[in-house]
Structure 1
């Protein structure tokens, strides 16, 4: 979580606003698209359920009309007086000769003609009935045209069964039946017992044949979204289908759909993924048939493609518009913040005069105005502080000079007097010359910046005088590169450091010590090193002197700190003094200066 917070914190405000807007819009569009897709899918499925239910009702009504029509034709034919007369005469004729071989009266041409004329009115092309067969009371099949009597005899037999006692038409399941000129075909047979209207005797039975394609044409004319229709009998066999290869097969095995056993109209789904099907069942009670409609869900959902394309198109357009608006909005908000941040970076790099140019009445404008006012105030305070520091440094330097000169003058005069008393006139003259040289250079016509060569002569004069006084415990060397002599240095930079090395380094050591002064150029800066092998200092002493946290009771600490502050004030923080010391061993102070000619 911390890493994520750090990652978020590293993103710019512009990108945060842009990403936040995009995330909100994407979530909104995705949610809206999801619900729109879900609602549209639900609406399409409900619409398809309603359409399919109405279509099944229409198929049932058309099937009921067809069944009723076929049964009506069977009743009309069974009650036709010409058919009844022929069948009754055949019954009487064969009754008179019952002790002999039955007479095939219906085989004569006149009777065939009469029956053909009777039947021709109720078969194709006048009706949906393909052909008609007649079984007489004497168990003869009458050949009256298209129906193959051999098939009829083989399928229905030559006798009468229990169903012949019913006077209503009886439908068979789907059967294979042969026709004289067309061969076999799948048909439904509708049988009707012929009862003589005067005597009430059963004088025969008629069979009307309806092709399966006639039944199938009822639902093939409808719009079923690429699905399949089936009619299943009470035994679960397919008796009508658009795919004729599935006829006569068990419905569950052929289609892999399990029908509920409730016997009621149902709607359900089966399968999953691309195999999911929407199943409708409608019960046709007159014949105990079940009408089944199976529609693949992918076909139903095909209508959603246009809706989804529309949703995707609108979503893409909205997202593109949102991207543009979010970019422009985030840019308009953050552009001025970036300008203000750029101004801050310039100020941080040292360009203190730079100000934010943005002016407005909005929040960023107030922030920009406040920032400019703050920087103006800060610049004024910094200028005031610099002036105070310069004044302080000058006061410290003047104080240092005022302390060094009388003190040094007094000691030097005492040394000269002592040399004269000892009869060392030559040494006394040298001391006086060194003193004169020291004060000549230290005055330097009021200049605070002098060449390094002058500073070295001033320091050498000071060391020569001090060596006359402390010859028993000090000596010195000076190794300054000739190339740096013309570069500038603040006056009296080295003298306070050398004085500190004598009084607080060498004098505290019991044996004779050395002060070594060396100077060189190092890249783009000068380095002057003052080394002594005196008493050394602890780290806390060095820190106290450089930070000014201690209150020095002598001139040494004040002088070193004053020199360091003066150099930093003149040239910047990268210049000044570097102090290195080991207690009881040595002290080394490096003066770092810029390359500037006097």
Structure 2
């Protein structure tokens, strides 16, 4: 910093004014470019939101048309008189009243021919249906050509389930299905019960197979840079342009959470080059969700031409500013030499020096203002020193208030009780723990100690409390040795542990546990205090996190004091994270910077 100050001091006033003007122009152009860029980006995003929303609605409508068409084909096939007659004849041949054993009537060549002719009008290339299987009322899968009946039997079984009592078409989830001559494909199956029109009997069930690629063809080619997914109600990807994503959990595969309320939404996720614009459209008939994921980089590519134009205009303005600033700075030099001399003296540490230049022109006003400013700075510096001293006193008093007198009284009473009961060894241990606690808590007035010392202090406190409340508490401490030398504000853990005992475990009917763990996470230290006591309500955890709301002075003041103290020392990035479920547990995580003691 001193080297930079010397360099600035060596520049002439003319050049300083010149540089200042250039900086102002640069800042102005940069600010204007920033806001113009931001406005254009927001406009492009808004445009993309409108276009993508319309695109998703179109895809949804096309999907609805496809689904309705396939369901209509299932109804047409199930109501075809030839198919019904063949299935009904098979039903009669194998009726328990008419035959002593099953007769595979559908193996008859003439019947198989009739079924093939019926089905051929339904499947490819006439429709988007890949193949059809038929399950007869007598639990036979009909082999009429393209579908592999062994797969059908293995996937859907040979019996009838609860869905078969419904006469509407039923869609299955995405599954791998085998086809003769082609192997496996990812398909959806649409099943429909066949009811004989004259007798009203259920004589079979038809299964229509639709390939996933048929569904995907609705949206493939629509998006210029993003990805489309169709997700079922269980969160599984059932259609995607990238087939490797099929059958995977959507949230785990792409790290995006779909709103569970079923509403159509548009939101952004991620940051930088990984920021995405996400749209969802609910397809209610099948409880599917259509998801469009568009990288923000693809949307902002149109801004390149705008940015190039802005750079050209900015360069022209900067060139003009250079010329004007050079001419202007040359006309202002001599009147401020004396003020510059005064400033150089102040820069050397002579804060009492003031400018002696007096005039009624602008430089005179500047000199007077400079003197007033220095007077104000001196006053503020004195005020700041006083505030720092007051702050240190308050912190010290807050620190001392953590070592509560009633803990000393209770510990002494515990020692006396142990002596009366003839437990001299335990009484000595309690006295040693109390001595260790107060020795470390005083720590020669140091406010910052090592994590190792803080852990020994906390362990002494817990051992004393365990002697008093052995019937309802126990504890464990698992601290990585790596973090023990790092620093921590003194008496950080004790208020939290005390709160866990008195407002968590003590109110619980059975014995509970306090678990303290510590580890390094990147450039931070994380210490976690867990207890399985009565937990806290949501408003209580919120009060601790915000540090403002007072929900329970007995239970929350100490913890909020710890949080506020850490933030005051290290900044808003650090402090406490609270997680609790009422009646189950409470977990408080202390986040500290990685600083050596």
TM-score, length basis structure 1: 0.52
Q: 1:442-591 residue pairs with structure 2 within 5 A?
A: none
Secondary structure of 1:257's counterpart equals: coil
Distance 1:47 1:74 in 2: 41
Which residue of the partner structure matches residue 47 of structure 2?
A: 47
| 1:57 maps to 2:57 | yes
Secondary structure of 1:301's counterpart equals: helix
| 1:290 maps to 2:289 | yes
Distance 2:200 2:318 in 1: 86
Distance 1:98 1:283 in 2: 51
Secondary structure of 1:101's counterpart equals: coil
Which residue of the partner structure matches residue 159 of structure 2?
A: 159
Shift of 1:137: 1.0
Distance 1:328 1:229 in 2: 60
Which residue of the partner structure matches residue 473 of structure 1?
A: none
Q: Considering only aligned residues, what root-mean-square deviation do their CA atoms show, in Å?
A: 2.8
Query: Is the Cα contact below 8 Å between 2:77 and 2:83 reproduced in 1?
Result: yes
| 1:92 maps to 2:92 | yes
Query: Is the Cα contact below 8 Å between 1:189 and 1:209 reproduced in 2?
Result: yes
Shift of 1:318: 2.1
**Larger Rg over CA atoms:** 1
Distance 1:273 1:247 in 2: 28
| 1:248 maps to 2:247 | yes
Distance 1:328 1:117 in 2: 95
Secondary structure of 1:222's counterpart equals: coil
Which residue of the partner structure matches residue 198 of structure 1?
A: 198
Distance 1:196 1:151 in 2: 27
Secondary structure of 2:215's counterpart equals: helix
Query: Is the Cα contact below 8 Å between 2:93 and 2:99 reproduced in 1?
Result: no
Which residue of the partner structure matches residue 132 of structure 1?
A: 132
In the superposition, relative to structure 1, how do residues 296 and 7 fare at CA in structure 2: closer, same or farther (>3 Å)? closer
Give CA-to-partner distance per residue, 1:438-482, whole Å, 9 cap, x none. xxxxxxxxxxxxxxxxxxxxxxxxxxxxxxxxxxxxxxxxxxxxx
| 1:81 maps to 2:81 | yes
Distance 2:28 2:168 in 1: 67
Shift of 1:172: 0.3
Shift of 1:98: 4.4
Secondary structure of 1:128's counterpart equals: coil
Which residue of the partner structure matches residue 315 of structure 1?
A: 314
Distance 2:12 2:244 in 1: 70
Shift of 1:310: 2.4
Distance 1:158 1:9 in 2: 93
Which residue of the partner structure matches residue 231 of structure 1?
A: 230
Shift of 1:14: 4.9
Give CA-to-partner distance per residue, 1:267-302, whole Å, 9 cap, x none. 222222222222211111000001111122222222
Query: Is the Cα contact below 8 Å between 1:279 and 1:293 reproduced in 2?
Result: yes
Give CA-to-partner distance per residue, 1:198-225, whole Å, 9 cap, x none. 2111111000000001111111120242
Shift of 1:138: 1.2
Query: Is the Cα contact below 8 Å between 1:52 and 1:224 reproduced in 2?
Result: no
Query: Is the Cα contact below 8 Å between 1:97 and 1:103 reproduced in 2?
Result: no
Secondary structure of 1:269's counterpart equals: strand
Give CA-to-partner distance per residue, 1:404-440, whole Å, 9 cap, x none. xxxxxxxxxxxxxxxxxxxxxxxxxxxxxxxxxxxxx
Query: Is the Cα contact below 8 Å between 1:191 and 1:206 reproduced in 2?
Result: yes
Shift of 1:184: 0.7
Which residue of the partner structure matches residue 208 of structure 1?
A: 208
Which residue of the partner structure matches residue 425 of structure 1?
A: none
Q: 1:322-337 residue pairs with structure 2 within 5 A?
A: 322-327=321-326
Shift of 1:95: 2.2
Query: Is the Cα contact below 8 Å between 2:131 and 2:209 reproduced in 1?
Result: yes
Give CA-to-partner distance per residue, 1:361-413, whole Å, 9 cap, x none. xxxxxxxxxxxxxxxxxxxxxxxxxxxxxxxxxxxxxxxxxxxxxxxxxxxxx
In the superposition, relative to structure 1, how do residues 68 and 8 fare at CA in structure 2: closer, same or farther (>3 Å)? same
Secondary structure of 2:294's counterpart equals: strand
Distance 1:285 1:178 in 2: 29
Distance 2:323 2:143 in 1: 87
Q: 1:17-32 residue pairs with structure 2 within 5 A?
A: 18-32=18-32
Shift of 1:305: 2.6
Distance 2:27 2:275 in 1: 30
Shift of 1:323: 2.2
Which residue of the partner structure matches residue 356 of structure 1?
A: none
Shift of 1:7: 9.2
Shift of 1:20: 4.3
Distance 1:175 1:269 in 2: 32
Query: Is the Cα contact below 8 Å between 1:94 and 1:138 reproduced in 2?
Result: yes
Which residue of the partner structure matches residue 371 of structure 1?
A: none
In the superposition, relative to structure 1, how do residues 314 and 162 fare at CA in structure 2: closer, same or farther (>3 Å)? same
Give CA-to-partner distance per residue, 1:465-519, whole Å, 9 cap, x none. xxxxxxxxxxxxxxxxxxxxxxxxxxxxxxxxxxxxxxxxxxxxxxxxxxxxxxx
Give CA-to-partner distance per residue, 1:226-274, whole Å, 9 cap, x none. x211111111111111111111111111111122211111122222222
Shift of 1:46: 1.3
Which residue of the partner structure matches residue 172 of structure 1?
A: 172
Shift of 1:174: 0.2
Which residue of the partner structure matches residue 123 of structure 1?
A: 123
Shift of 1:325: 4.5
TM-score, length basis structure 2: 0.53
Distance 1:8 1:138 in 2: 98
Query: Is the Cα contact below 8 Å between 1:194 and 1:206 reproduced in 2?
Result: yes
Which residue of the partner structure matches residue 187 of structure 2?
A: 187
